[in-house]
A = this chain, B = another copy of it.
Amino acid sequence: MTSHKPEIAASAAPAGTDEMLGFRPLYRQVKGVLVRRLVEGVWSPGEALPSEGQLAAEIGVSQGTVRKALDEMAAEHLVVRRQGRGTFVAEHDEPRILFQFFKLVPDAGERRFPDSRVLDITETAADADEQAALGLSPGDTVLRIRRIRALGPAPVILETLSVPAALFPGLSDGPVPNNLYALYAGRYGITVANARERLKAVALAAAEARLLGVAPGTPALRIDRTATSLDGTAVERRLSLCLTEEAHYLSDLR
C-alpha cells in the first residue's frame, strides 16, 4: 500500500524513457494532467474545479499530491484558490490583467486600466520581426491592430498588436474589446499564461508623435511584448510606444 513507483496508472509514457532521463515526481504528472484539462477547456474560466479529495480519488493519488500540484498552478496564476469555497480556473478579468500584465502606472494617483481607441486593423503577411516573435513561416499571415490608449484625458500609448491570423479566425469581424486577453480565452479558448517584455528608450518618429499629440523626437518607452499561452505557444506580439511624462513602468525585483 505504501510503496509506489511515481507513475500514474493511466500514464502513457513507457517506463523505459524516464529511467535515464531524470525523475518526474508524481505531483508534476498530476499537474500535467490538470493543465492539459485546462487547455482542453474541460472547465471554463471562473468555474470551480472538483475538490482536492475528488480529484485525488479519481486520479488515484493522495490528496496531498493533488494539493501540491494545485499549489504550483496557483503560483502560476492558472488557478485561484479560495479557502472554504474551492479552486477556480483563473479569469482574465481587469483587476488580474491590470496587476499581472499591465505595468505602466501613473506617477500619482490610482493604478487603472487604460481606455483604447482602435486606429486600424489589417491582415497581411508577417514581417521578419513578427515571424521571429510568433514562430511563423514566411507567407503566414497576421492580424495587425493599432490602438491609442490613455490613462487619463491625454493619449499615452501607441500600440501595435500582431496575432497569427490562423489562431484567431474572425477576430476582426466584431468590435475589438478593450481587454483582449479575456476575448482570447472566452472565444478561442486560448489562455495567455505569461509574457516577456523587452524595453528600450527611443525617439518618436513624426507619424508616431502626431498620433500621440507630441513633438517628433520626444523620448518614449518602447515595449516589445511576446505573450505565451498555457502550452507554451507564442500567441501575440505587442509593440507599445509609451509616453512617460506622467507615468512609469513598474518592475518589482524579488
Contacts and interface: CB of A to CB of B under 8 A. Distances in A.
**Which of A194, A195, A219, A224 has most B Cβ within 10 Å?**
A219
Given A203-B219, A219-B203, A253 B194 contact: yes
A194 B251 contact: no
Interface stretch (A85-93, A128-136, A145-153, A242-250): A242-250
A103 B198 CA distance: 10
A111 to B, nearest CB: 13
Contacts of A82: none
Given A201-B201, A248-B199, A253 B221 contact: no
A251 to B, nearest CB: 4
Interface residues on A, range: 20 to 34
Q: How many copies, total?
A: 2
A103 B202 CA distance: 18
Interface in A72-87: 76-77
Contacts of A219: 201-203, 219-220
Interface in A209-225: 217, 219-222, 224
A243 B180 CA distance: 32
A210 to B, nearest CB: 18
B221 A252 contact: no
Contacts of A253: 100-101, 103, 194-197
